[in-house]
Structure 1
Amino acid sequence: MRKIGLTLLTAMVGGAMAIGAYKLLETKSADSMTFEDRQKVYFASNKTAAITSSAGDVDFTQAAAAVTPAVVYIRTTYSAQANSGRDQMDDLFGQMFGQRLRPRQQTPQMASGSGVIISPDGYIVTNNHVVEKADKITVTTNDHRRFEAKVIGTDPNTDLALIKVSATNLPIVKLGNSDDVRVGEWVLAVGNPFNLTSTVTAGIVSAKGRNIGIIGSENDDDDNNNPFGPARNAPPRVNKAIESFIQTDAAINPGNSGGALVNTKGELIGINSAIASHTGSYEGYGFAIPINLAKKVLDDIERYGSVKRGYIGVNFAELNEDNASQLGVKNTNGLYVNDVVPGGGAQAAGIRKGDVITKVDGNTIYESSDLQERVGRLKPGDNIKLTVDRNGETKQFNVTLKADAGTPRTAAVSKSAEELYNKLGASFQPLTQQQKAKYHVNSGVLVTQVRNGGLFDDTEIPVGTVITSINRAPINSVADIDKAITNMRNGMVVISGIYPDGTNFTNSFQVQ
């Protein structure tokens, strides 16, 4: 009886703790909850049978069944002008990314990719290159429902994008922990290669922390959002991209971009992004963005419209046996500091030119991605511990990340509200009461991101602009924008607002 009583007591205490945790999360404001918090609430009230990791006989059926319903097919439409840039990328990367359906025609073009639903109310993660410059984005779910999607925001530096469809009670993929991923473990890639929807392939994790130099390599002259600060005459280039890919031999092909890489528990550990190929098709290796990096990026985009990224403020060279002797250092692992950005976090902490950064938060740095991915998860004001070798002496520095020093680019308009919204090519955040008082306005949203090739980019409406009305209707939210942009006369969109310098403007645009 005592054993039974103890068992009952343990069960009651465990149940009470679970209910308490659920209620604690439930009472948090939806606006302040991260996607991971929201998923905890979702899975607390939507219990599913535990998925056991494969052992002995390999069986992926449970994981595949759990993930497939939440992986979507994305089809994008581009104007001929926007598509010319994508053709150049295809030439450069051998069609690594999306699947070109009708190449090189001077008519609207289409491409396809994949996405993963991460919130029941319609938020979907995909690759930036899948939706970049798209006029129209169509999402088809595994049960063949079709929606038009809007771009909430993008981050070219990680090749991530957050899009949204107007739907509720959608199936989602559970977010995992990419730090726990081990080389050699089984994984599944789920996506839509070659228009073959809901395709599952299996393989293993063959490496972690891969930096293959593919993100942003077509725009190396742009130092915006470089988490290490702007390049300053360093011999090796400093890429603004943050690459620390999970490498897998699960078959990934064109059309898989933006799809899910999951473990055998059905947990999302990465977003498939690229393949290493001479032909444009699978040749043995695929690369996925770690989900722990993606979590921070996606939460920032949803909350602020753009990524709040901090930077260390150093320009570095990755050490190896070849260049270590040239630089006059004994270390063959680590990052050689070529320069320290004035006013940056590294300078304030005491890091100098010629130092070799050997560890980040106690973890050894073997290549640049070991540091990039760690910094990419943090925001301005966060601290990071760097271990430095200075002339043979080991030193520790606590670096406070500074707000991004680069000025964001000044940051596309058709049938549905989603398509019109995407053509604007911008992301927005509602004004606070203090900001309204500052600008002496009763309504308004702040432009937080402007994407290349959109209407705001073409007309040089920059980040920091306040949009007060569209088509004479006051704007206070994204929902207001959706309503206003569909209320056009003779295909004209009229946007009024205040530039960052305080100048009022009203611009009229003809929508094609």
Structure 2
Amino acid sequence: MKRFSGLLLVGLLSGATTLGAYKLVFDNDTPTSALSIAPEQSNYTRTVGYNGAEQIDFTQAADKAVHTVVHVKNTSYATVPASPWDYMFGYRGGGQQQQQVGTGSGVIITADGYIVTNNHVVQNASELEVTLNNNQTYKATLVGTDSKMDIALLKVETKDKLPFATFGNSDEIKVGEWVLAVGNPYNLTSTVTAGIVSAKARNLSKDGIQSFIQTDAAVNPGNSGGALVNTRGELIGINTMISSMTGSYVGYSFAVPSNITRKIIEDLMQYGNVQRGALGVKGGELNSALAKDLGIDETKGFYVNDVIADSGAKKAGIKKGDIITKIDDREINGFADINASIVTKRPNDVVKVSVNRDGKMMLVPVKLSKNEINSFTYDGLELEDVTDADKKKLKIDYGVKIKEITDEDWMPYYDELKDGIILRIGNMKATDIESVSKVLENKRPNQKVRVEMLTKNGQVVQFLI
């Protein structure tokens, strides 16, 4: 029996995620609502000086970018216990409202006021305000978010035509290419820093679905949600995080690629949530040690250890022991490469998967499926997605059901809570189990979140969790 100690099992199932879910109805014929996409370009010429260094003028790219980047102010209100007795005897309600303010950056992507930023910049917001580079301030509304990729879409209402960014093709960027990071670190307006692309398809999460651009351009607190642009001023990423023990920049930062961002935004605009496809395989990234454990010669690619039942991969005939080497035109080395290949696709899209099966190369067309996260338990409440039958019976089109109560503190309210449907949590619609779980997992210690629930008797009630 082969030893699998080095194999990290990861279910590459990227289900549709949204924390916003305000369904956006827009006119496809209105040019200002369409995203601006840069035309495909061949490798552009760089001027090289006598010392071998590239002589690149950043001024035009910076001038294009700074006018599209905004400052985002997030105001939230947390209910805190009114006295120490609330801590001692189990706090469930009442308390005092405490205002909290966070800041970040955003990028205008249409002339009529759509703005992309990070999910963590606007999370739990009661009020959102954006300030343009010309100091004009607008109230903003949240259209929708994708918490997995840390992207959020905002909208401001204005009669003015706003400057907006043009999306570049993030698949075309190369390691070593110059980039600019534009944002509002430390509440300073329109700060520009330069660096190079350090790596592509970086995954920083345990679930293996992220695929970041890594750069050494200086990014600090407040840069989150700002623009990463190439030397033509085209948007190639949304800055999202830094790698630091101090909270300030010490060498590397990460951005969500523009191709992924663009697809998320288009989904939010058209569907109100993110339509993300799933390949349906579990496995691990090959290396020399793992190949030796498995008794195979290949040291590169993604080793399939399991195939999810009823998934596209299963139906296409992909088997345990297969090695995925390429999806469409992208070479596969691990989790982030697979995600980068499918995260811009939707359920029912077909991808061409190159598979090494016992030394024989095969090309397998796979129709992507959709994954659902079924259940989540928090503070003694077991939650699950609402079934189609429940939706029809209760005449609702979304919600999360309280399946069971296991905490004694909730038992006095068992009859009211059991089978209740959570409609809103905080300021977000409870569109699915994943949206609710993200809000609950990310709330601060002792912070209480207001829940709006439809009881099985048809009454709408509110409580704090």
Q: TM-score, normalised by structure 1?
A: 0.64
Counterpart position of 2:61: 63
Separation in structure 1 between the aligned mates of residue 367 and residue 396 of structure 2, nearest angstrom: 30
Amino acid at match of 2:27: D
Counterpart position of 1:75: 73
Amino acid at match of 1:273: T
- Which aligned pairs between 1:95-106 and structure 2 lie closer than 5 A? none
Q: Offset of 1:291 from its aligned partner?
A: 0.3
Counterpart position of 1:165: 156
Counterpart position of 2:190: 198
Counterpart position of 1:507: 460
Write the deviation string for residues 411-461 of structure 1: whole angstroms up to 9, x where unpaired.
Answer: xxxxxxxxxxxxxxxxxxxxxxxx9xx9799xx9954999xxx97137997
Q: Offset of 1:34 from its aligned partner?
A: 10
Counterpart position of 1:457: 425
- Which aligned pairs between 1:121-200 and structure 2 lie closer than 5 A? 121-168=112-159, 169-200=161-192
- Which aligned pairs between 1:21-60 and structure 2 lie closer than 5 A? 31-32=27-28, 38-40=34-36, 55-56=47-48, 57-60=55-58
Task: Give the direction of change, closer, same or farther, for the CA distance of 1:68–1:315 in structure 2 (3 Å limit).
Answer: same
Task: Give the direction of change, closer, same or farther, for the CA distance of 1:39–1:445 in structure 2 (3 Å limit).
Answer: farther
Aligned length: 367
Separation in structure 2 between the aligned mates of residue 319 and residue 187 of structure 1, nearest angstrom: 31
Structure with a larger share of its residues in helix:
1
Counterpart position of 1:48: none
Q: Offset of 1:78 from its aligned partner?
A: 2.5
Q: Offset of 1:162 from its aligned partner?
A: 0.7
Q: Offset of 1:111 from its aligned partner?
A: 1.4
Q: Is 1:296–2:288 an aligned residue pair?
A: no
Q: Show structure 1 runs of 5+ residues with no match.
A: 1-28, 45-51, 83-104, 218-238, 411-434, 466-492
**Which of 117, 123, 126 matches 2:108?**
117
**Partner secondary structure for residue 374 of structure 1:** helix
Task: Give the direction of change, closer, same or farther, for the CA distance of 1:257–1:385 in structure 2 (3 Å limit).
Answer: same
Q: Offset of 1:73 from its aligned partner?
A: 0.5
Counterpart position of 2:290: 323
Separation in structure 2 between the aligned mates of residue 347 and residue 404 of structure 1, nearest angstrom: 14
Q: Offset of 1:409 from its aligned partner?
A: 7.8
Separation in structure 2 between the aligned mates of residue 320 and residue 188 of structure 1, nearest angstrom: 34
Question: Matched residues, percent identical?
Answer: 45
Separation in structure 2 between the aligned mates of residue 54 and residue 196 of structure 1, nearest angstrom: 32
Counterpart position of 1:90: none
Amino acid at match of 1:345: G
**Which of 208, 223, 229 matches 1:256?**
223
Q: Is the 8 Å Cα contact of residues 262 and 270 (structure 1) preserved in structure 2?
A: yes
Q: Offset of 1:278 from its aligned partner?
A: 1.8
Separation in structure 2 between the aligned mates of residue 78 and residue 37 of structure 1, nearest angstrom: 29
Q: Is the 8 Å Cα contact of residues 310 and 381 (structure 1) preserved in structure 2?
A: yes
Q: Is the 8 Å Cα contact of residues 26 and 33 (structure 2) preserved in structure 1?
A: no
Higher relative contact order (CA 8 A, sep 6+): 2
Q: Offset of 1:110 from its aligned partner?
A: 1.7
Amino acid at match of 1:181: I
Separation in structure 1 between the aligned mates of residue 235 and residue 428 of structure 2, nearest angstrom: 38
**Partner secondary structure for residue 174 of structure 1:** coil
Q: Is the 8 Å Cα contact of residues 305 and 448 (structure 1) preserved in structure 2?
A: no
Separation in structure 2 between the aligned mates of residue 35 and residue 111 of structure 1, nearest angstrom: 33
Structure 1 stretch displaced more, 342-351 or 324-333? 324-333
Separation in structure 2 between the aligned mates of residue 81 and residue 262 of structure 1, nearest angstrom: 40
- Which aligned pairs between 1:265-344 and structure 2 lie closer than 5 A? 265-344=232-311
Q: Show structure 2 runs of 5+ residues with no match.
A: 1-24, 49-54, 81-95, 378-387, 402-421, 434-449
Amino acid at match of 1:270: G
Amino acid at match of 2:201: G
Counterpart position of 2:411: none
Counterpart position of 2:409: none
**Which of 349, 352, 361 matches 1:382?**
349
- Cα RMSD of the aligned pairs, angstroms, is 3.8
Separation in structure 1 between the aligned mates of residue 111 and residue 105 of structure 2, nearest angstrom: 17
Separation in structure 2 between the aligned mates of residue 338 and residue 447 of structure 1, nearest angstrom: 35
Q: Offset of 1:378 from its aligned partner?
A: 0.4
Counterpart position of 1:370: 337
